[in-house]
Amino acid sequence: MSEYVLPPPPQASVSVLGRPERYAVRRIYCVGQNYAEHSREMGSDPQKVPPFFFAKPADAVFEPALQGAMPFPGMTDNLHHEVEWVVALGQPLYQATPAACAAAVWGHTVGLDLTRRDLQAAAKAGGKPWDMSKGFDHSAVLAPLQPLEGPLPTAGAIALSVNGEARQQGDLSDLIWPVPELLARLSQYVALQPGDLVFTGTPAGVGPLRPGDVVLASIDGLPPLRLELARV
Ligand code: MN
C-alpha cells in the first residue's frame, strides 16, 4: 500500500435523495451560454456561439441542506446567481455518441453556478482565465442528487427567485445544446468518468446577490434548492 507525505484530502461528494450513500465527485464541468435569451443578455449572438466549457474544483461543492448559510464570497462586488440543471455521470464517456451520453447520466439536480461577474467581466476584457470568477470556494451550490429513473427529461420549467422576487425563468426545452449533444461535445475534449458533474447552462435573468439574501431555485420534478447567504 502506498503512503502519502500528508493525509490525503477528503473526497468531495454530494448527497443522494433517499440513499445513505453519497455520490463521489471527480470533476465539475460547466457550459457557457446554453440558453439563447441568456446569451443575448451577456452580449453574444446565440447563433454564433458553439458550446464552450469551463470547470470548477470538485471541492467547490456546497450543500446548503447540510452546511447551512453560505459565507459571502470575498473579492467581488457583483456576485451573480445562475440557476442550472446539473447532471451526474454514471459511466465513462470519451468521444461518445449523444445516445451513449444520454444513457450515461446517473442522476440530476438543481444547482447554482455562482459567479463573480465583476471578475469575469475583467477576465473577458483582458483575455484572462475565468478560474477566479467561476471556480472559487462554495461556487457549485447543489441540492441532493436524484437518481434518474427513465429517460432524461427534455422539458420542464427552471426558475430562481431571490427573497421571493422572481429573477430567472426558462424551460429545459430551451437548451441550445440539449444534454446528450452537450455531453457528446464535451467528451471530444476530455474523457468523462463516473463522478463528473455537468452544469448545463443558465436561463436569462442573472443578477446580483447580497449578504442575507435567500435564493430559491427550482426545476420541475426535482426538489427545490434553497440557499441563504450569511450576513457579513
Ligand atoms: Mn453558468
**Domain contains 1:** no
Range of the domain at 163: 13-228
Strands 105-113 and 140-142 come out as antiparallel
For residue 32, the CA-to-ligand 1 centroid distance in Å is: 6
CATH code where residue 45 lies: 3.90.850.10
**Domain contains 211:** yes
Residue type, 206: V
Which residues are near ligand 1, the ion (C-beta closer than 5 Å)? 82, 113, 202
How would you class 129 by CB atoms within 10 Å of its CB: exposed for 0-12, middle for 13-18, buried for 19 or more?
exposed
Please name which of 216, 90, 185 lies closest in space to residue 147, comparing C-alpha atoms: 90
For residue 224, the CA-to-ligand 1 centroid distance in Å is: 18
Phi/psi at 60 (5° precision): -80, -5
Integer Cα distance of 67 and 215 in angstroms: 15
For residue 81, the CA-to-ligand 1 centroid distance in Å is: 9
pLDDT on residue 1: 63
**Domain contains 135:** yes
Contact 104, 93 (CB under 8 A): yes
Three cell numbers written together for 70: 453560505
Place of cell 431555485: 217
For residue 6, the CA-to-ligand 1 centroid distance in Å is: 34
For residue 212, the CA-to-ligand 1 centroid distance in Å is: 22
**Domain contains 2:** no
pLDDT on residue 76: 98
pLDDT per residue as tens, the chain (232 positions) = 679 999 999 999 999 999 999 999 999 999 999 999 988 998 988 887 789 999 999 999 999 999 999 999 999 999 999 999 999 999 999 999 999 999 999 999 999 999 999 999 999 999 999 999 999 999 999 999 999 999 999 999 999 999 999 999 999 999 999 999 999 999 999 999 999 999 999 999 999 999 999 999 999 999 999 999 999 7
For residue 139, the CA-to-ligand 1 centroid distance in Å is: 11
Domain count across the chain: 1
For residue 56, the CA-to-ligand 1 centroid distance in Å is: 11
Integer Cα distance of 199 and 225 in angstroms: 15
pLDDT on residue 196: 99
**Domain contains 189:** yes
For residue 4, the CA-to-ligand 1 centroid distance in Å is: 36
Residue 79: C-alpha distances to residues 41, 48, 119, 183, 201 (Å): 16, 27, 9, 28, 17
For residue 3, the CA-to-ligand 1 centroid distance in Å is: 38
Alpha helices in 13-168, H assignment, sequence order: 36-41, 64-67, 98-103, 117-126, 131-134
**Domain contains 59:** yes
For residue 97, the CA-to-ligand 1 centroid distance in Å is: 24
Contact 111, 29 (CB under 8 A): no
